[in-house]
Structure formats: C-alpha cells, structure tokens
Amino acid sequence: MNDMIQAIDLGKSYPLPEGAYPVFSGVSFAVKPGEMVAIMGVSGVGKTTLLNLLGGLDRPTEGRIVLDGDDLGARTIEELAAIRNRKVGFVFQFFHLLPEFTALENASLPLLIRGIDRSRAFPRGLDLLRDVSLEDKASMRPSQLSGGEQQRVSLARALVGSPKLLLADEPTGNLDWKTGESIIRLIRDLHGRMGLTSILVTHNERVADLCDRRLLMEKGRLKRMG
Ligand SMILES: Nc1ncnc2c1ncn2[C@@H]1O[C@H](COP(=O)(O)OP(=O)(O)OP(=O)(O)O)[C@@H](O)[C@H]1O
Ligand SMILES: [Mg+2]
C-alpha cells in the first residue's frame, strides 16, 4: 500500500538574527492510509513545527514531504494552499475559530474558500455539525460556546472538505480531562468512519493509547516508541 504521507530526511531551522536556529534534522517516517499516529515529546522539541511542515503550512529547510503522491517542495504557494484545502484538515489546541462567524459558517469555511456557494456549503457544514452533535448550536458564535464545543466545531471544519489527512496539534491540550476524553473519542470515531489518516501531537497518554502507534521527538530526532 502506498504511504499517505512520507517525510524524507526532513530538517527545519528558523532564521534568527544571531544565525540559523536548528529545530530538527534527518527526520524520516511514513504513515499508511488509515493509520492514527501520535507524536509525543517535550515542549519546544519541534512537534508543531513538524506538523506545520507535514500540512504544507511551512516549508522544510532540508528534505522532502510527499503527501498522497504529491511532492510538496515542488509546489508553489498557491498550489500548496489548494492541496491543504482539499487534502488536509487541521485541528489546533486553541481552536482558531473566526469570532465573528457562527458555528455553521466556521464549519463550512473550507468549502466557501473552495468557491462552493452557501446553498451547497451550509447543508454540508450542518451535516458535519451533526456528526459532532452540535447541530442545535449552528447559529452560535464561538464566544457563546464552551471550549469542548469550540473544539467540536473546529473538528467539523477540519473534516467538512473530506480531507484524507487529519493533523491535530494538542487537540485536548486546552480542555479539562473529561472533555478532552470525549474529543479524542470523537476523533477516533470519525477517523474510522471517514477513512482518515490522522497524526496527533499530544502530551496525553490516554490520547496516545488510542492511536495505532507513537513517535517520540527527542533532541532534534524522531524515534519510534514502544
Ligand atoms: N517562527 C519561529 N521562529 C523562530 N523559532 C521558532 C519559530 N517557531 C518555533 N520556533 C522554535 O522552534 C522550537 C520548536 O518549537 P515548536 O513550537 O515546534 O515546539 P513544540 O514541540 O510544538 O512545543 P510545545 O509542546 O510547547 O507546543 C522552539 O525552540 C521554538 O522557540
Ligand atoms: Mg506545539
């Protein structure tokens, strides 16, 4: 089976006034379609940096990423944006919902960005809100929702465009234990039902337990755990 995503000798350093700041290098791994993988590691080790590279939000300074057969390094900024819109769903620790938009508008956003009109995007957005049990809060704004509800809206938004890859950066990091547990179970459930490939950055053992395998970032390297 072909890999859904492949990282080949990936390295990233950030340019700083005092010189290049290397975060990691020589990172290679692959994730098969349908796998759910946890990436763990201490704060500052480069997990978010790696996730941003995998989803085409930023570019590596070394190595290559092949996403669903597409070599991201060979793509222009505009092409990367289109690939992200079609193939990748992102979930963030702090939700990143648009405050002026309703839950339904937020959930439908990737489709609106794709140029699909509201009459078609909103019914699909509502389907996803139903999947996360929030259809009754479709007209609420993020400030009127609890943290767990906001994360469910952001999960609906991540999945509304039928992506192949779900990237979640500490999706339970800003939620209490019980709410986090319900979010991770929801992710696991939707992962299976929608045939997703998922990569979750997490500090949480319970989250990692629900994944098929774990990778550990340590001292600028990525290792297999367990
Ligand atoms: N835009 C940037 N410019 C310069 N340095 C950066 C930038 N983004 C991240 N870094 C640095 O890269 C390192 C890795 O950061 P990153 O956010 O990837 O860590 P992380 O593993 O996600 O940490 P956490 O668990 O706290 O979220 C840190 O030392 C950070 O200061
Ligand atoms: Mg991070």
Q: Domains, the chain, ranges and CATH?
A: 5-225 (3.40.50.300)
State whether the beta carbon of 52 lies less than 6 angstroms from ligand 1.
no
State whether the beta carbon of 23 lies less than 6 angstroms from ligand 1.
yes
Separation of alpha carbons 176 and 92, rounded Å? 16
What is the CA(22)–ligand 1 centre distance, in A? Answer: 10
pTM for the predicted model, two decimal places: 0.96
Instruction: Please report, for residues 76, 99, 143, 155, 169, the alpha-carbon distance to residue 96 in angstroms, rounded to integers and kept in the order given.
Output: 25, 9, 12, 11, 12
In tens, the pLDDT along 131-173 reads 999 999 999 999 999 999 999 999 999 999 999 999 999 999 9
Strand-strand pairing, 165-169 and 88-91: parallel
- Residues 50-69 have a mean pLDDT of 96
What is the CA(14)–ligand 1 centre distance, in A? Answer: 9
Residue 45 has pLDDT above 70, yes or no: yes
- Give the list of residues 6+ apart from residue 56 with CB closer than 8 angstroms, or none: 65, 67, 72, 75, 80, 83, 84, 88
Collapsing DSSP to helix, strand or coil, 172 comes out as coil
Separation of alpha carbons 144 and 1, rounded Å? 44
Of the ligands numbered here, which is closest to the C-alpha atom of 45?
1
In tens, the pLDDT along 80-130 reads 999 999 999 999 999 999 999 999 999 999 999 999 999 999 999 999 999
